[in-house]
Amino acid sequence: MAIQRTLILCKPDAVSRGLSGEIIRRIEARGYLLIGMKLMQLDGERARKHYGEHEGKPFFGGLVDFITSGPLVAMAVEGDDAIEGMRQMIGATNPLQAAPGTIRADFAQQIGRNLVHGSDSHESAKRELSIFFSPSEIVSRKHDSHKWLVEK
């Protein structure tokens, strides 16, 4: 186990549907720490940078249009193996394939409106966090809320 940081976005569909609170609740209930958070609207340049790996794919244009269409909530989330743990909590990209109990299975129907983004690797997390947060916007927190976890 290692303490990791990951970028989580409540995408514009989550914010407009009033689901950001539910998503944040689940993250905190899992015991992860919010170490950065902001409501913002992405411009096209930053959106294309964030989703750079998908450039050239048929859904890329629609994805950029969608992610810039309204406010999103960007979060830096920290915890034990938080990258994989958050991906597990978010569920498969297509809500139809997502396991019940995951955010996408519980609240979404379409792949293009799947509510949440979570970094998929250590490298992505590092790259994506730097797109959304400057170092001064990250708040170091003691893992006091983890007292109930088994000491390592």
Residue nearest to Mg ion (CB): 120
Tell me the C-alpha distance between 64 and 103, whole Å.
22
- Measuring CA to CA, which residue among 94, 87, 91 is closest to residue 125? 87
Output the six-digit token pair for 134. 């400057």
C-alpha torsion sign, points 113, 74, 33, 127: positive
Burial class (CB in 10 A: 0-12, 13-18, 19+), 34: middle
54 catalytic, yes or no?
A: no
Which among 117, 122, 143, 146 is annotated as catalytic? Answer: 117
Q: Between 121 and 145, whose beta carbon lies closer to ligand IDP? A: 121
Cβ nearer to ligand IDP, comparing 21 with 112: 112
CB of 111 to ligand IDP, least distance (A): 5
Q: Which is nearer to ligand IDP, 100 or 135 (CB)?
A: 100
Interface residues toward Mg ion, by CB under 5 A: 120
Q: Which residues bind ligand IDP (CB under 6 A)?
A: 54, 59, 63, 93, 111-112, 114, 117, 120
What are the backbone angles phi and psi of residue 36, rounded to the nearest 5°? -165, 140
Task: Tell me how far, at minimum, the Cβ of 34 lies from ligand IDP, in Å.
Answer: 20
Please identify every residue annotated as catalytic.
117
